[in-house]
A and B are shown apart, each in its own frame.
Chain A
Amino acid sequence: MDGVAVCEHRYRLIRRDRTAGVTTRLRVLDDGAWISVDDSREVRVSELWRLDAPDFCGCDLVDLVVENFQAVGVDGSTVEVRVYGQCIACDAAGATSWLPVGRVRDGEFDEFDRSAVRRVRE
């Protein structure tokens, strides 16, 4: 969490980069439909994500339908979310641990490749 002040909350999280003096507003909005980054809708539900998340289910890779965002946070410059969803390989459903979805650089948000395998934060 180098150089980052974090106020972690389910609906509001502000990342402050001390070196650049840039504040990024992160929110879960519209009943969990969106991750808003600086008042812009950036990450949406309804995707299929591949996860390396052994705590979620027994599948080698979770094939998760993203139904609902539960929370948004940051780890360093990486934006993370907790989502509710279902593994379509085994039917397990529930909320995930923190998953990376993108990175904030110089105040700009870049979403990670949606087809990439995401690894939960230990």
Chain B
Amino acid sequence: MPTDVENWKSEVYGNEIRDRLFEFAERGFDSIPDDERDAWFERFKWWGLYHQRNGQEGYFMMRIGTPNGVLEPGQLRVVGEIADEYARGPGTNPIFGDAYADFTTRQSIQLHWIELSDVPAIFGKLEANGLSTQQACGDSWRNIVGNPVAGKDSQEVVDAWPVIRELNETFKGNDDHANLPRKWKVSVTGSADGSGQGDINDLAFEPAYKAVDGDGGEAVGFNVRVGGGLARNEPRFARDIDVWVPPEKVPAVAGGLSALFRDYGDREDRYNARIKFLVDEWGPEKVRETLQAEYVDFELDPAGRDVREEYTYNAGDGERNDLIGVHDQKDGRYFVGLNVLVGRMGVEDVIDLADLAEEYGSGEVRLSQRQNVIVTDVPDDALDEFLDESLLDHYAPDPSPFMRGSVACTGTEFCSLSIVETKNRQVRFARWLKENVDLPADVDEFHVHLSGCTASCAQPQIADVSLRGMKTRKDGDPVEALDVGLGGGLGEEPRFARWVTQRVPVDEVPGALANLVESFAAERDDGESFRAFVARHDDDELDAFVDPEETDYEDPMMHNTKRTWYPYAEDDGMEDAPSTPADD
């Protein structure tokens, strides 16, 4: 029996939602019939609009999909202007202010407090500037991710940017692929650093060489993996289906696999709908056989020689664990990765950054999967002056390991599913750790990912320290808490974090991390990475290292932040929630 969501999708979905969305926007939020709200809010996701949690009725999160995180010259300014004009609501964030943009772990941008009546004007401005919210949420092709500096990176095996653009143009708004059983996350990576994080995507294209015609030559293309994902206590790494594909055939294979998912995915149980479960059931061999037999009209090549042994991104050791700092482009210029703590940037800083990108680079800005920004195309003679800009004091190219390692999801500030406050909390954690904890001198990166629930939007399972929202009781009272996992990361041999300590009250987490780092510093082998240190200890030993302790860190959000209409409001009770915004 199909689910309600499937029934709603079968009635109206995809491009046709837009006309109705605009009608509702024109006639006002209250024009959505009371008995159709669940259906329309589900459908609006396809156009990047997600109804914020209860207490914030009538306000939406808007996600802008920027393929591969590429913001062409001028586009970041447009995002900043839209945030400034439209992403202001009744709540003020004590750290980030009234209006801000969130850079996400899928190289997209999220704005909050969007009112329905403003959507047509926002879409008009976005689309006039080559931006879109189409399929940013919902059951379809999501924003395609990859190495954000594709086409510029000096370490590149193959330029994935033209491939990503073609996939985006082919599968955004494509009615044959608009209604899938569930979300469809695709990564295309051409660099040897693994920064596309293909292993945690539904579909991954990874750089690989293929011998051609027996003359010793090799062609560059992609190996294909299917069925990765982190959500719901069911993390999977994408499975190798033994296929190599040249760049020009990527759309055919990607479309074939998307169609296979469309036709064979589970539409009766959304919890079992992601393709990772179909790969579990079928095995990678059957996925390949079905793709070959039913969805492509050419002979698939077996997998080629990959470069996974060179992967360093989010791998816990070696160079380029992230893309922060100054790096060579292949044209002799530089790209400069700037740390955006938990991915959130106030609108004034967004616009200032757009100015700097135009002044010192080409105006282009790119977004990484670690929620950071990259200014590209900075020439040698402008580099020092750019690095001296005061904005870079805050968004640093050489930040503290605890600042550069911080990733956090949206949390209870806006999200329905989250169990705890996240972004502001991770800012508080990072600042406290920076002031109070010393890593060994040779350790310059330490990734701490805070996710509010098992949906894993902050990708907690692939961090050195994984924090996941929970509840516990402290002195008998319910308080927000975090599970602690250790030793996750990608690389040649990716590994999910092991959850070693459960339900640490949030005010004891900084102390726990301080004690953990102290044990690591005292007991590590020479030059040993944190990830390697974790790997050679069992769970009980690690649990002992994570020694929760109260410190001078104070957490102002110990209570159930979900019971507030907005955790930072002076009068935060649900009874003080603002009314649905007026239609103006």
Q: Is A33's beta carbon under 8 Å from chain B?
A: yes
Instruction: Give the segment of B207-215, B248-256, B471-479 that binds chain A.
Output: B471-479
Q: Is A55's beta carbon under 8 Å from chain B?
A: no
CB of B417 within 8 A of CB of A88, answer: no
CB of A68 within 8 A of CB of B416, answer: no
Q: How far is the CA of A12 from the CA of B470 in the complex (A)?
A: 28
Q: Is B583's beta carbon under 8 Å from chain A?
A: no
Interface size class of B (residues with CB under 8 A): 35 or more
Q: Is A34's beta carbon under 8 Å from chain B?
A: yes
CB of B418 within 8 A of CB of A91, answer: no
Residues of A within 8 A of B133 (CB): none
Given the interface pairs A30-B416, A31-B455, the reply to whether A39 lies near B5 with Cβ below 8 Å is no
Residues of B within 8 A of A91 (CB): 502
Q: How far is the CA of A44 from the CA of B416 in the complex (A)?
A: 8
CB of B269 within 8 A of CB of A88, answer: no
CB of A11 within 8 A of CB of B4, answer: yes
Interface residues of A in 1-59 (CB under 8 A from B): 9-12, 25, 27, 29-34, 36, 38-41, 44-48
Residues of A within 8 A of B412 (CB): 46
Residues of B within 8 A of A44 (CB): 53-54, 416, 562
Q: Is A80's beta carbon under 8 Å from chain B?
A: no
Smallest CB–CB gap between B543 and chain A, Å?
Answer: 12
CB of B418 within 8 A of CB of A39, answer: no
Q: How far is the CA of A46 from the CA of B36 in the complex (A)?
A: 26
Residues of A within 8 A of B269 (CB): 10
Interface residues of B in 245-290 (CB under 8 A from A): 269-271
Closest to A48 in B: B478
Q: How far is the CA of A68 from the CA of B470 in the complex (A)?
A: 12
Residues of A within 8 A of B560 (CB): 46-47
Closest to A25 in B: B35
Q: Is A67's beta carbon under 8 Å from chain B?
A: yes
Q: Is B541's beta carbon under 8 Å from chain A?
A: no
Given the interface pairs A63-B473, A65-B471, the reply to whether A45 lies near B3 with Cβ below 8 Å is no
Closest to A39 in B: B37
Interface residues of B in 53-97 (CB under 8 A from A): 53-54
Q: Is B34's beta carbon under 8 Å from chain A?
A: yes
Given the interface pairs A11-B270, A39-B34, A39-B35, the reply to whether A65 lies near B470 with Cβ below 8 Å is yes
Q: Is B531's beta carbon under 8 Å from chain A?
A: no
Given the interface pairs A48-B473, A88-B473, the reply to whether A29 lies near B3 with Cβ below 8 Å is no
Interface residues of B in 468-510 (CB under 8 A from A): 469-473, 478, 502-503
Residues of A within 8 A of B232 (CB): 68
Closest to A63 in B: B473
Q: Is B453's beta carbon under 8 Å from chain A?
A: yes
Q: How far is the CA of A29 from the CA of B4 in the complex (A)?
A: 9
Q: Is B364's beta carbon under 8 Å from chain A?
A: no
Q: How far is the CA of A102 from the CA of B470 in the complex (A)?
A: 24
Can you identify 20 A-B contacts, CB atoms within 8 angstroms? A10-B3, A11-B4, A12-B3, A12-B4, A27-B4, A30-B416, A31-B270, A31-B417, A31-B455, A34-B54, A39-B36, A40-B37, A41-B54, A41-B416, A44-B54, A44-B416, A44-B562, A67-B453, A70-B271, A88-B471
Beyond contacts A45-B416, A48-B471: 10 other A-B pairs, Cβ-Cβ < 8 A, are: A31-B270, A31-B417, A31-B455, A33-B416, A39-B36, A40-B37, A44-B53, A48-B478, A70-B271, A88-B473
Give B residues with C-beta under 8 Å from A. 1, 3-5, 7, 34-38, 42, 53-54, 232, 269-271, 412, 416-420, 453-455, 469-473, 478, 502-503, 560, 562
